[in-house]
Structure 1
């Protein structure tokens, strides 16, 4: 198990880690102390050969650290690796992040940093405080979005750990402060804005979240997750329909249409819940889009709204009014509606299946099998039609789908329930 953990990639750079691990593993398995077998010299030789062969790659050097940590006699080698990182890559985000995270893993004081003076500093443990101090130095010297992101990722991880309430509150204050500073520096990523909003909402700071949300969509106007969060906040605040529509309209100008469905979905769900008078017009607008990523889920939602709100006749009207493309789920939902009637009409069901197999018959075995079951099980079904459907399915399907269909069809013919 330990050996497998150390193997890593089997080509290129990975082979050096494998070589190093084999040397270490042989020493460990010999039952002789590492010092008497000359491990420090052997391990250092392998490492030096590796970094000389593959230069200027911080990720490669970092890949040696997990190998050294498998054993309890490799502290000096690990120290040497970290010294190399600090010397050769002082301006890289990966270096600073590795050094900072090391503080959380052990009590080692990073080179150039003073040891913490007490067990509890500013409400944080010694390890945590030292980690944050390294990141503070990092963001002052490496002023990049990636550096702030690494800092915030660690802060968020600390919040996720189980701890006393007072410690959690301090950690939350810390991460919120770092979010603000990164945003103020113009170096907060779009995903970090999402994380900021999630954190604010978890602690109930809705008003601040609204301000951050507005700021975030100005900073990243094409990032759909931020616009979605802005709409969610409006719906939670029971905003007027006009305000919601205005924000949706703003977002649609800036977000690619193929990515807009989450925004439409939030808006439509809210307007349905408020019985908005023009909601059907909005469904029709969305469903008429030429973009599949938008119109397919819109048509599904439109059909469900019609069935739930106005009943089967309205659902039929919507079904027959919408032109293709429609999703397989759209067909399946309408089949469920028709099958739920007291006396399902086989002519209606056949027509739906015909449309569905035209669109999805080449890729869906279950669709053909359900069509066969309709003819075999419906009181007005015709067994000879099942044979015709079988023939058409065999021509339409391909590869493993054909074998699966034949097996399932045979079971159906034998009277088994599938």
Structure 2
């Protein structure tokens, strides 16, 4: 083994000498490259068990060296010894691949890597040989046949590429990727053909017949509805394949008429106008054509709704409504008003079928008048009783009526339905009463809300303090703060709100403000670094003359209270704050 390693070391002397001569790398870099190569040579030539990963690591290292050589050469604008250095490294990589494949002939990734290496470096003969070996050894892998077809296309041998795909399909008749690749290749042959119109038409007809053959093989060997539809997507932009598309559509209607996606696919094709003309250049650019497409698309959806399995009906309604919503928003010349009415009718039908999704109720409410919207949302919240969005919309429409009893009724129903998610409804009702009601009424709503579950009360408590401070003064706010702050479960946002109120006072009461921080520390100091950071900032900002001693004390208390990971985070923030001070 030592002799082999020494021989390999000698073989790179010229390459290293060239690198030194042109000063592409520093001596230290060159030394590291030599050491790494010697170490890797020793690994792949050891007498005991050999590991393919050693070869992969060595190959990856040489690719990295080659990339660095090229990058440094471009950066330093050095062109000397270019071919000699690059070829030496490439030859080493090729030798490593060949040796590895002799020792590990069943490793697919090594074969694939060698093929790609040969392709990248224009070793065409070797690449062709490599891909032929892969087809023999890994004929059960569809990706090999696709790779081979791609190679022959690269070599401008389309016939051999198709022959390869056909052979691959014979051995792998269930391979989706090979069918798709073959069909796309057949189509590309025709679309890229330069010939007379008569010859082109003949070739297109021949291509379409071939595609029908592929389609029939697919039906025989594949049971995958999504894949059938994906083949339609490949074909639909090529009008000469219309008869092949018709074969697929007929098969879908015969075998999958109860599937929502089939009718959605057919309706979308109608929307694009594929039903009417074979040549897109002949399509009339008129609103009547657009309107016809919409009508035929709608008919397909409605036809499908009568055919699909009951459990698929809601999904097909969703497809249909989303299509109508898109049509309404598109800037066509057809009358927008008629589209809105069309959408309204469809929404009503879906609602009658109990197939309307939550989102579609919000769309429906937005395109009708306020009173009708209110009725729709009332029915919607009966169906989706836990929908925050629907309750918000329903309450908003009630607020537009200015009918207090109606608003309060909706609010109570929504609050019972949403429970801990009802915070947004409380805020809406408060905003409404702040416009029309006296302070006692507003205060009563706040007092009720702050006794609710934490998810609601934690939102309202800070708002209540702010309202009290504005309407009844800071003393009332402080009194309420002291009362609420000591009630469990504690509310961190309450301390934050009170701290802001103290800071906003004309004559800041430092003692009262500090009391807020102290209480926050007592309640959240063992689990939250923010309360400690705010306390530090309090001293740094308001008591610069005393901050040194006070800040150190807070710092030491934090160290005692916070768990290790939180303490580490706090310590980093603390260092930054002092540096900025």
- Quote the RMSD (CA, aligned, Å): 4.1
Q: What CA deviation, in whole Å up to 9, does each residue of 1:242-301 have, x standing for no partner? A: 332122223334x14122222222212211221244221121111111x22222112132
CA contact (8 A) 2:270 2:296 kept: yes
Alignment partner of 1:47 out of 143, 158, 176:
176
User: How far did 1:237 drift?
Assistant: 1.7
Partner SS for 1:38: helix
Is the aligned partner of 1:171 residue 2:339? yes
1:320 paired residue number: 482
Asked if structure 1 preserves the Cα contact closer than 8 Å seen for 2:462 and 2:493, the reply is: yes
Residue 3 of structure 1 corresponds to none
Larger radius of gyration, structure 1 or 2? 2
In 2, distance between residues paired with 1:56 and 1:138? Answer: 21
| Gap regions ≥5 residues in structure 2 | 1-141, 180-217, 277-282
Which residue does the alignment assign to 1:249?
412
Aligned to 1:147: 316
Q: State the SS of the aligned residue for 1:108.
A: coil
Offset, 1:162: 3.5
Q: Distance in 2 between matches of 1:19 and 1:260?
A: 55
The answer to whether structure 1 residue 383 and structure 2 residue 548 are counterparts is yes
In structure 1, C-alpha distance between the alignment counterparts of 2:568 and 2:149, rounded to whole Å: 49
Q: Deviations over 1:184-242 (max 9, x none)?
A: 22322333212211333xxxx212212222332344444443232221111112222x3
Asked if the contact 1:296/1:325 (under 8 Å) is kept, the reply is no
Preserved contact between residue 20 and residue 46 of structure 1 (Cα < 8 Å) = no
Cα distance in structure 1, aligned partners of 2:457 and 2:472: 21
CA contact (8 A) 1:148 1:188 kept: yes
Please, which runs of 5 or more residues in structure 1 have no aligned partner?
1-17, 111-116
Q: Distance in 1 between matches of 2:531 and 2:362?
A: 40
Contact 2:287 2:332 in 1 (8 A): no
Shift of 1:397: 4.6
User: TM-score normalised to the size of structure 2?
Assistant: 0.56
Q: Aligned to 2:573, which of 404, 408, 413?
A: 408
Equivalent of 1:26 in 150, 155, 161: 150
Q: 1:93 aligns with which of 241, 260, 268?
A: 260
CA contact (8 A) 1:123 1:167 kept: no
Are 1:198 and 2:366 an aligned pair?
Answer: yes
Residue 392 (structure 1) aligns with: 557
Q: Does 1:180 align with 2:348?
A: yes
Do the aligned partners of 2:174 and 2:221 also contact (CA within 8 Å) in 1?
no
Distance 2:222 2:525 in 1: 54
C-alpha distance in 2 between matches for 1:121 and 1:97: 23
- Identify which of 304, 329, 346 aligns with 1:160: 329
The 3-state SS of whatever aligns with 1:278 is: helix
Match of 1:130 in 2: 296
Corresponding residue for 2:94?
none
User: For 1:266 and 1:226, how far apart are their aligned partners in 2?
Assistant: 14
More helix by share: 2
- Rounded Cα–Cα distance in structure 1 between residues aligned with 2:250 and 2:474: 72
